[in-house]
């Protein structure tokens, strides 16, 4: 049986890391790949049964790449601290790593404000997280919503990670603020610049994509709220692109 290491990227995740590690103890090893947390993340992770490795954070893609290079297991299963693996998912991971595919997409059940949406892009929300270590690397041009470059075939798992995504609207705002900064930097570096009408058309496309194309409407007012919130952050991303590199 190939060996698999579960890797959790963390920074100040004391509220989540213990339960996350506990859900992954079926793996051959659990490593918390920490960005020098200032809370009790490292101590709690070790108490729960994980090994802690520290690495300075540059961006999400670079951090995952650093983990791939620092760990020697044949397979790496990336899990965020606010995610949990179920026993059914654990069994499926063990089964699939014996097959010829070099990477596996994992669906997620995203709990947002205490509810489980099924539209607006939040389900099945596939993430390429189970990777044959020497067959995968991360695209340096994608610092957020990172993209795997995979040497080999890929497949899709059936069982989902449980993702306690956003407990409150303030947490949603803080995380989107961070993601939007990174997204604006990536667009700027890619040479993308907003036109005067982009501030209107960009958010409108984002809303239509989430609420109509991705069926956010099936979640009622919850889906409407999430679609509107993501449209607002699309506007903010273009505003920050203009602020960062409008004169270039």
Q: How confident is the model at residue 90 (pLDDT cuts 50, 70, 90)?
A: very high
Q: Looking at the predicted structure, is the pLDDT value of residue 129 above 80?
A: yes
Place 145 in a pLDDT band, splitting at 50, 70 and 90. confident
Whether 55 contacts 32, CB under 8 Å: no
- How is the chain split into domains, by residue range? 4-165, 168-245
Cα angle vertex 68, ends 59, 190, to 5°?
35
DSSP letters, 209-242, are IIIIIT-GGGGHHHHHHHHHHHHHHHHHHHHHHH
Give me the CATH code for the 4-165 domain, please.
3.90.550.10
User: Quick one: average pLDDT of 154-183?
Assistant: 94
Tell which residue, 3, 75, 63, 62, has the closest CA to residue 35.
63
Q: How many CB atoms lie within 10 A of CB 32?
A: 26
pLDDT at residue number 248? 60
* pLDDT value of residue 142: 73
User: Model confidence over 44-73: pLDDT tens digits?
Assistant: 999 999 999 999 998 888 999 999 999 999
pLDDT at 246: 73
Band (218; pLDDT cuts 50, 70, 90): very high
Cα–Cα dist 74/97, whole Å: 9
3-state secondary structure of 33: strand
């Amino acid at each position: 049986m190939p060996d698999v290491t579960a890797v959790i990227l963390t920074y100040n995740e004391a509220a989540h890391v213990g339960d996350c590690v506990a859900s992954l103890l079926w793996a051959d090893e659990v490593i918390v790949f920490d960005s020098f947390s200032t809370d009790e993340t490292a101590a709690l992770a070790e108490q729960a049964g994980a090994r802690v490795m520290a690495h300075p954070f540059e961006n999400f893609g670079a951090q995952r790449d650093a983990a791939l290079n620092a760990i020697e297991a044949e397979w790496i299963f990336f899990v965020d601290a606010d995610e949990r693996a179920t026993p059914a998912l654990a069994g499926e991971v063990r089964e699939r790593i014996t097959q010829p595919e070099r990477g596996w997409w994992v669906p997620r059940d995203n709990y947002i404000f205490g509810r489980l949406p099924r539209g607006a892009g939040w389900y099945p929300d596939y993430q390429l997280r189970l990777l044959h270590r020497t067959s995968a690397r991360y695209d340096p041009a994608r610092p957020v919503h990172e993209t795997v470059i995979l040497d080999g075939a890929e497949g899709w798992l059936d069982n989902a990670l449980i993702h306690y995504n956003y407990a409150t609207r303030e947490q949603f705002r803080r995380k989107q603020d961070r993601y939007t900064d990174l997204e604006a930097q990536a667009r700027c570096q890619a040479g993308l610049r907003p036109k005067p009408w982009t501030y209107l058309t960009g958010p409108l496309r984002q809303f239509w994509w989430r609420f109509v194309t991705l069926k956010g409407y099936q979640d009622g007012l919850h889906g409407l709220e999430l679609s509107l919130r993501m449209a607002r952050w699309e506007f903010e991303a273009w505003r920050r692109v203009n602020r960062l590199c409008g004169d270039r």
